[in-house]
Structure 1
Amino acid sequence: MVGQPRRAARLSRHLLLTGELLGYGFWLLIDTVSIVSTGPLGALTPLTGASIAALVLLRHRPRVDVAPLATVVFGSSLTVTAVAAVFGRPTLSFTEQLALAVMTITVLRVAPHRTAITVGFASAAAIVGSAYLRGEIGTTAGAFTLLSTLGWGGAMAIGLALREADTRRRAQLSDVRTAERLELARELHDVVAHHVTGIVVAAQAASVVARRSPEEVDRALAAIEHAGGDALAAMRRMVGVLRGEHGSVDDEGGRTPGADLVGVRTLVERFDPDGTLVRLRTDPGMEHAMLPAGVAATGYRVVQEALTNVRRHALAAAVVEIEIRIREDALLVSVRNDGVRAQASGGPLGGTGGFGLVGMAERVAALDGTLTAGPTGPGVWTVAARLPLTGPGSGR
């Protein structure tokens, strides 16, 4: 699990909500001051603005569908405008205008195409219509209408820009996951071929054993059964990948069936030729341990991606600590570095930066493992993976 993006997203939502509330509070104060020079209907100005803003704030509640909420918001605004056109001209509510603009941006960003088009017309009628029908008579009416038209255009532009950005990001994430899923499927194909070859060899050996040492036949058949079980487990994983349930790998570096971790030391030497930056700690014999197919390769890829992110986001790093251990039937991989810039805290996880750890999370999940990445101290960033050595994801 990658918890840091969730915390960053939560903080971002809180900051946006705080800014929105401050905006409503400022314009509500302006609306309240403006009723001093108006008639009795002028009291509707802050009341209408506060009511519409409260409705718009409901979109922050969990599981709220913004399309029906937008219908209520724009319908309420248009109703007030119609009443004002028939019975009087209350002062234009700036709080309401801001709330309508925020609602427009929100719906345009997330709603289906048809709903977005409908919202565009509804918001134009509500924002521009309220300025024209509820503004002061005279030259100021035209000025308010023009400003409201510009505000509506700005809200439409922001909403469409955010919609396009979200669409592109979803497409990029989908492409990354698809590419990694297909690559893992190719790797698993190699694994299955490896196991099937072992079954054929074991079967040939069994036929020889049956003629020369009949008492050893049970052992040969057990070896065939074990190899067949491994092949079936790998096949189940491959089918899951092709169905889109799991899967991740991002280049040829992880395709060797039954690969060991000896490549990590070579990777470290390329990353730190002088041997002054990286500290590699492993269990004795770990680099040559024969691990389940995919586990060792995934451990290698996690280290590789973490070191890549050090180059991208922690150029001032003074030390990088890599630990590879086996504990409680799981391969534990940890890469810790200092020198992380504050603005880079979200980058390595696929935010405004790359998508490398998004792919790694997919691959680790395919092995029933967990991946964490985030700050663990001032300027310190840690990527840690836990990869089970037993169970359906391991092939054992």
Structure 2
Amino acid sequence: MNLNLSTPSDVIVAEALKRFSKRELAKHLGKDPRIITAFQRDGVDETYKMALLYLLQSNTPRPNQGKKHDFTFIDLFAGIGGTRMGFERAGGKCVFTSEWDTSAQKTYRANFSVDEHPIIGDIHEITVEGKWDLLPEHDVLVAGFPCQPFSIAGVSKKNSLGRAHGFACDAQGTLFFDIATIIERRRPKAFLLENVKNLMSHDKGNTFRVIKNVLEDELGYKIYPKIIDAKGFVPQHRERIYIVGFREEVGFNWDSFSQPPTDTKCMADILHPNDGSEEVEEPYTVGIEAKVNDKYTLSDKLWNYLQNYANKHRAAGNGFGFGLVNKDSIARTLSARYYKDGSEILVDQGKDKNPRRLTPRECARLMGFDSSEHKFNIVVADTPAYKQFGNSVVVPVITEIAHTMKPSIIQLKERYIRQISLAI
């Protein structure tokens, strides 16, 4: 949307609230959050209109939640920044980012300050072309290396197309070895690698054996893998493997990892209430009551197709079926293919109306990107937004892992400082 001084003030305020919460917007303007409510009710004078336009046109990221940091980390295959967000909440400072997808880069830039370091698009600039001066020293390496080569869905699709998968998939699977190259060269104190649960069983366990051999036997790190379900953190059944590694023995274990009870979250926590109790966020919600836009309701043609397809597979004894949820449900795993038909998570709207897809804002909440303190900035269209959230991590899970790792990271930092002081 082309915004300028002639644009109605209510439109400018609505656009600003798509990117910022009232609290964040007020902080940018140096005012009390109540002034934003006044803007919505009474309009905006010329001075504040110009200030809001400047914020929107300069693509200002969300306010930095504190400058102090306890350790540094690099963010590889960063996506839209879910892992970074979790490690920042645990006191980390990001000093390097790599993400090749330009659409994901756009979302990343809208949510994080990248003034201190650029986003490197292709990690091969470092690992193949040898531009090691671009990669700073760091305490922790974090990477959610591409999971499609190892996922159940990815393997099934590639098998049906006669394509290679896992490490044989040159385009994605071998990116693990780029991570290994960086670990070998920079020797971080710790790392966290994230992937799909199927990584453990892929190729009859051979894939994980290779990964374990590289990390432990070749690179000398001690690894601590754990499969974690996001249920309890968010209302979504999403199992992922998290591989924590430490360069030296620090007595790390998963005992302090706090897994919330699985019955504490339900879809009501992330769905638009449809009753006017939340702010309108076009195009996701419309009208005075902020009801979900009808464009997210399935057409009769698509809904009939999904029902017939599910019935056919059920009759054949197969497991395919759409996932219908209500406010009391736990959702299936949100995938990168959600943009196609939304079949894995469809919101029941009653028998008089077809179900609907989640809105991108609901996807942000389902992945834990939104919090009481800030609203994640969604600056791309629905299709790339669905892909980005489906490919991402659940932020509260990463936050808890980072907090679990932190004492051991600090222990290694202090040990290193003592070694240096003794050498001097």
TM-score, normalization: structure 1? 0.22
**Where is the helix percentage greater, Structure 1 or Structure 2?**
1
Structure possessing the higher relative contact order (Cα contacts under 8 Å, 6 or more residues apart): 2
